[in-house]
Amino acid sequence: MTELPRPTDAELEILRVLWRLGPSPVRRVHQELSEGRTIGSTTVLKLMQIMYGKGLVTRDDSRRPQVYTSRIGEAETQRQLVRDLLSRAFGGSHRQLVLQALAERQASERELAEIEALLDRMEEDGR
């Protein structure tokens, strides 16, 4: 799959809503985003139109109101963001990325076990 442009923070918020709710009209996305804060419906509409132009979302024009859908899933978006961060901030060093992430906040026993299992699998695969 072709990598899409990196979403801005605001676009990522909208994508999270679409991943949670599934295909949704702007009004529904606005309702979710405006819980606990003020954000204009025209702002949400404009952001979603920009996201459509960038290819981050698709839009079903055959329905009224138009329904937007995330073009790629949450896991793939996370992978793209991590690849970008790994390259830009850590010079491609997986080790430095993991060490910095672990230094930032205490990992749970379960998280550490998952990390260890992943590292073991990567060693077995020769990565």
Residue 47 pLDDT level (bands cut at 50, 70, 90): very high
Class of the domain covering 1-90: mainly alpha
Q: What is the mean pLDDT of residues 69-92?
A: 91
Residue type, 95: R
Q: How far is CA 23 from the centre of its chain?
A: 16
Query: 91-120: per-residue pLDDT in tens?
Result: 988 888 888 888 888 888 998 899 889 888
- Read off the pLDDT band of 127 (50, 70, 90): low
Nearest to 28 by CA among 12, 8, 10, 14: 14
Q: pTM value?
A: 0.80
Helices (H), 55-108: 74-90, 94-104
Domain residue spans of the chain: 1-90, 93-127
Q: State how far Cα 84 lies from the chain centre.
A: 12
What is the phi/psi pair of residue 24, to 5°?
A: -150, 150
* pLDDT digit string, tens, across residues 2-42: 678 899 999 999 999 999 999 999 999 999 999 989 999 99
